[in-house]
Chain A
Amino acid sequence: AQSVTQLGSHVSVSEGALVLLRCNYSSSVPPYLFWYVQYPNQGLQLLLKYTSAATLVKGINGFEAEFKKSETSFHLTKPSAHMSDAAEYFCAVSERNTDKLIFGTGTRLQVFP
């Protein structure tokens, strides 16, 4: 069965510091992988997705993620955090030819001035 593990329910960084949010997946076939961001009391917004093209995926707001099959990981990074990046981030996986998403439990990112 598919699953997604997000290590660290809370991550705190200083403004300007590197952001690293971890996501590991398990899937029996090469998956599609997604990162979504959720601001308080809002729906989820797609940050980026991996669907078998380049393993380094660039998304919105300066975020990027690298698909590493050998490590079954899809970690989200941003070189320099902004205060506006404070939100909850969800990693999700779907197997090819299905349209169901399995979400991780989320990581809340705090950015301090």
Chain B
Amino acid sequence: GIQVEQSPPDLILQEGANSTLRCNFSDSVNNLQWFHQNPWGQLINLFYIPSGTKQNGRLSATTVATERYSLLYISSSQTTDSGVYFCAVGRGGKLIFGQGTELSVKP
């Protein structure tokens, strides 16, 4: 099956710093999404991005499907950005999640 690796596994930032999270996958996919799980366990969809670049406020994402990776950029981080960031990839209806990047933003 498709393998998904996220890096780094943990990240500690000072408020206002920028960061880049990476998602590598082992096979071609037609579905790639980024999620944020907040400290209360809620899963929020950030981007549906099987290819190309998208931006939403301080967050942006880029997927290079031919090279099998995706990047999530967080700029001017805030304490509310803390939590776990997951990427998920798939084909058809199957979806495989990475292990996540746990982000902690300190005031």
Q: Do A and B come from one complex?
A: no
Question: Which positions in B face A, CB cutoff 8 Å?
Answer: none
